[in-house]
A and B are shown apart, each in its own frame.
Chain A
Amino acid sequence: MSVFATIVVSNSNKVEAQALTSLDMFTTEFKKGLRKYWVSSGNFPQDYYDALIDNDLVYLSLTDQNVKPTSGLFDLGLSKVITED
């Protein structure tokens, strides 16, 4: 059982969000103005999704499957940070 969503957590909540889910999640940085956010998008195991909601760690969540996640985030003023090492 899983839930499709694009979930954004604030920089201050990243560590706790990863502790409740996986270190492989919330590894993609977005920014809005000077603020830094971390995003995971796709199918979340139900227990991960519930834990994030129950612990009030979600800055915003997009669940409309008809909107491309990157477009939805862009419309909300969030832009992807691309770092080429």
Chain B
Amino acid sequence: MYGLGVNRLGVTNAPSGFSPLSLFANGEQGVWYDPSDLTTVFQQDGTTATIPWTSGDILDANRVGKLVDKSGNGKDALQTTLSKCPALKYVGGLYYLEFDGIDDGLQTASIDFSSSDAMSVFTGVRKEADETSVVAEISDNAGTNAGAFRFGSISGDKWRYSVRVDSTVNLNANSYTAPQTNVVTGLNDFSDPVTTIRVDGAEIATSANSPGTGNFGDHALNLGARGNGSSLHLDGRIYSVVVRNVLSNANDIALTEAYVATKTGVTI
């Protein structure tokens, strides 16, 4: 049995006082993106705070060219081509980045994940189409590069978390037909080995298949598309992203998923 010991929690709100920043208190590598914190959202020129789009014209001021990393690791997600910038939207009391499914995407500088063979990826996400897309991926292709992961959708009704060293382990969460909004978590440890995908606070699938031996690599993190908006474009929304270069414990998983759920408007 390779479950991580966290099941459906029955909580609807993150416990007061919890901040994802605490997940990085011991110097953990990773990122935390929060589009609802407008002090961290900038236009493509990198200088002016973005204005959320609610109605009317879509302007430069609604387009996001920089999303500041709140983890303390300084790995901001960027897009320097104006037409490839996602839109910041505010609907129903929730902020999110809307990716157009055509050319939008963000990318960080390289992040050195090589000190660990484990990863925890927490996302609040919506897909508008059942097609292959990237929500978050390190490297320009996690299907071929060692020490990489990809989380996204695939054709049909599936979310997928994939990890790779020498070979690829794909874990699917089925029966999530678009349009679909979920809190999706991918967890893995290469050496255990264990790979898990969770949806809305519940473990959906886990595998003990080994992708090989080694650590994660020194790769850029891509959001909303592969390779800085080059392919596998997400037609959908990103509400929240937390990536940690460790295998989170049960308490951290529960707290982080509850936090992401509040940002995403999902009850778990």
Q: What is the interface residue range for chain A against chain B?
A: 20 to 34
Q: Which of A25, A69, A84, A85 contacts B101 (CB 8 A)?
A: A69
Within the complex, which residue of A4, A28, A70, A85 is in contact with B58, where a contact is CB–CB below 8 Å? A4
B143 and A43 within 8 A (CB): no
Q: Do A82 and B83 form a contact, CB below 8 Å, given A27-B103, A69-B102?
A: no
Cβ–Cβ contact A65 & B58, under 8 A: yes
Q: How far is the CA of A43 from the CA of B1 in the complex (A)?
A: 50
B143 in contact with A42 (CB, 8 Å): no
- The docked-state distance in angstroms from the alpha carbon of A39 to that of B229 is 13
Chain B residue nearest to A44 in the complex (CB): B83
A28 near B233: Cβ-Cβ < 8 Å:
yes
| A6 to B229 alpha-carbon distance, docked (Å) | 16
Chain B CB count within 10 A is highest, among A25, A40, A84, for A84
User: Is B118 an interface residue, CB under 8 A from the partner?
Assistant: no
Set A4, A24, A45, A82: member contacting B84, Cβ < 8 A: A24
Residues in chain B near residue A43, CB distance under 8 A: 58-60, 63, 82-83, 85
Per DSSP, are chain B's interface residues mostly helix, strand or loop, or mixed?
Answer: loop
- Decide if A12 is an interface residue (CB 8 Å cutoff): no
A5 to B206, CA, bound (A): 43
B102 and A80 contacting across the interface, CB-CB below 8 Å: yes
Closest to A5 in B: B83
Distance in angstroms from B46 CB to nearest chain A CB is 15
Q: Within 8 Å CB of A40, what residues of B?
A: 83-84, 102-103
Residues of A within 8 A of B114 (CB): none
Chain A, range 29-85, C-beta contacts under 8 Å to B? 39-45, 65, 68-70, 73, 80, 82-85
Q: Does B132 contact A (CB under 8 A)?
A: yes
Asked whether any CB of chain A lies closer than 8 Å to the CB of B12, the reply is no
Interface range, B side? 20 to 34
- Residues of chain B within 8 A (CB-CB) of A28 are 102-103, 231, 233
Residue of A nearest to B98 (CB): A68
Q: Which residue of A lies closest to B80 (CB)?
A: A24
Q: Which has the most chain B C-beta neighbours within 10 Å: A4, A42, A43, A70? A: A42
B81 adjacent to A24 (CB under 8 Å)? yes
Decide: A25 and B83 in contact? CB cutoff 8 A: yes
B69 CB–A CB distance under 8 Å: no
- Are A41 and B143 in contact (CB-based, < 8 A)? no
Let me know if B22 is at the binding interface, CB within 8 A: no
B41 interfacial contact with A, CB 8 Å: no
Given contacts A28-B233, A42-B102, 9 further A-B contacts (CB under 8 A): A27-B231, A45-B82, A65-B57, A69-B102, A70-B128, A70-B129, A73-B102, A82-B132, A84-B143
Partner-B contacts on A (CB < 8 A):
2, 4, 6, 22, 24-25, 27-28, 39-45, 65, 68-70, 73, 80, 82-85
Q: Which residues of B contact A (CB under 8 A)?
A: 57-60, 63, 81-85, 100-104, 128-129, 131-132, 141, 143-144, 155, 228-233, 235
21 A-B residue pairs with CB within 8 Å: A2-B59, A25-B81, A25-B103, A27-B229, A39-B103, A40-B83, A41-B83, A42-B63, A42-B83, A42-B84, A42-B104, A43-B58, A43-B63, A43-B82, A43-B83, A68-B128, A69-B100, A70-B235, A80-B131, A82-B132, A85-B141
